[in-house]
Chains A and B, each alone.
Chain A
């Protein structure tokens, strides 16, 4: 049975708020943490580093449980960037937050610049000891990094605690490929799967688990997995490997897959109901989805045009 989402609109525009660390634009990859009296949404915001480069920092905004009011925008640093020469030195984007065994954890994607290609990434673990206000990194290195068959660009971890195991869906790079017109390095990445009982050591499938819809160069990113109606659902975003930056036909759009066992996924984008009507703010692309359960209702957070330069919006699942 197909899912149906009702768009609730553009709910956060970073340019309307004071952000810490000199960040003015972007609220990318919204990731929700449901607390007793509020929903805290973490996002990545950008600090201008040089004329042409940014550092991504994690910010947060608190919403009332009905999403109608913004209660607070964090004015402090939530998690510091990585040390020089390590995987998070040039940015954290995104930070997926989840609860497991009574603790609040974050999977951070840390970025570090390279010479021949723009960047390399890996996934780190962080933990909050103040109910989700700030996070401390566990170790200076990553918990999930490149391996023999997942050679670079490990990113976008999404955690789900289920039956005593923690599952993580994430993306891994398959190849860097020069753009047909730009001649610049463009990345090709797919969604992978790993499980762990201690969050530190991971057993990885080592293969792409979601079939391509465009072609073998399709890039798939930021999976979010939730359980509803006796099945597991995954929403992610995907695009062609080049020509995607201005949005439109080749821009990021949302994809969907369903599973009964968290292992085998059948891709069926139309069944995800994610082609709900758009507005001006998400007319050219939709990306970086995150589904959250608030008191039995499912909400989809996602970015619109320009990869979330003007923040994120919300949709609600018809039950």
Chain B
């Protein structure tokens, strides 16, 4: 196939866009669009000022875009859309990243919740929240994770992307494979996996890594975003090296795979059609794609340099070159 052809529409939002905000102080990560009848609402993650222990945690927010110009922000939620989890809960120390989906008038957010450990720095599991007012307010379905650790998924479940095709719920997510030690810092290796469900709550895991690694066994993969394009299923995802990934050539970049059945994927990174811009906020790294359709066009939010430290921007699949 021909590579996907993306046209950059511009930088949309960063923490610097709202300097006087009480909560949004550092980064704007994991953009996730909810297309409503009169607007496009984008959920995202950001970090606030340090907590009492000196550490920062990630929380979920949303902003609304001008329907006439999807790079123009109209309003930003004044506070997080949900509190962190309670004492000892899987999501006590952060929520990041997220996926939003509307099915039959109910909006759900799936997110990775973070806890802190003593041997390694952290662990994560996947939670779910529901909204019955079109994404204005959310409540947790339960205090625990909707996808927790399993026999061959022993730690670090995160980066959920939930989609609904032909009446079936699909979740692409990340599962930890092993912990590496780099200096005095622990770093996880994680791969993309998937699960299916009839209700979005009870999940049957595929039980294997679904995307080949091009960087070898230490490649880390995340944010498997699946969409339909020209009669096939496409996945855009992010991948990086396991160590020294903050800058340089081990940073997150976009990967691409195709499938005819949503389960078996063929990796075709050459067809991603999207990379760092070379200048500005997304010059070095692009990651965490979020695909949505509005006004008949396929759009993509993505985060820029520093895994979204510079915020996120928008691109559109070019209709002149095989897009629609």
Contact = CB atoms under 8 A, between A and B. Distances in A.
Q: Indicate whether A and B interact.
A: yes
A139 interface: yes
A114 interface: yes
Contacts of B179: 83-85
Contact of B89 (A85, A89, A147, A152): A152
Contact of A85 (B142, B146, B151, B186): B186
Given A89-B119, A151-B143, A152-B144, A176 B154 contact: no
Contacts of A125: 151
Interface in A158-216: 173, 175-178, 185, 187, 200
A304 B169 CA distance: 50
A117 B144 contact: no
A36 interface: no
A146 B155 contact: no
Interface string B87-115: 11110110000000000000000000001
Contacts of A112: 117, 119, 123
Contact of A147 (B115, B117, B144): B144
B297 interface: no
Contacts of A139: 150-152, 154
A114 B115 contact: yes
Interface in A18-44: none
A170 B75 CA distance: 48
Contacts of A151: 89-90, 142-145
B118 A114 contact: yes
B125 interface: yes
A149 interface: yes
Contacts of A138: 151
Interface in B130-154: 141-146, 148-154
A28 B120 CA distance: 27
A139 B154 CA distance: 8
Nearest to B87: A176
A113 B119 contact: yes
B144 A146 contact: yes
B151 A149 contact: no
B201 interface: yes
Nearest to A178: B87
Contacts of B120: 84-85
A200 B151 CA distance: 8
B88 A140 contact: no
Contact of A116 (B88, B145, B176): B88
Nearest to A140: B154
A85 B87 contact: no
A299 interface: no
Contacts of A86: 154-155
Contact of B86 (A120, A147, A148, A175): A175
B117 A142 contact: no
A145 interface: yes
A190 B151 CA distance: 23
B117 A115 contact: yes
Given A85-B119, A85-B120, A142 B142 contact: no
Give 3 nearest A-B pairs by CB, closest first. Answer: A151-B144, A148-B142, A141-B154
22 contacts: A84-B119, A84-B186, A85-B119, A86-B155, A87-B149, A115-B93, A116-B92, A122-B148, A138-B151, A139-B150, A141-B154, A141-B155, A146-B90, A146-B149, A148-B142, A151-B142, A151-B144, A152-B89, A152-B90, A152-B144, A177-B87, A200-B151
Interface of A: 82-87, 89-90, 112-117, 120, 122, 125, 138-143, 145-153, 173, 175-178, 185, 187, 200
Interface of B: 86-90, 92-93, 115-120, 123, 125, 128, 141-146, 148-156, 176, 178-179, 186, 188, 201
Given A85-B123, A187-B88, 10 more contacts: A83-B178, A116-B87, A117-B88, A120-B88, A120-B115, A125-B151, A139-B154, A141-B154, A147-B142, A185-B87
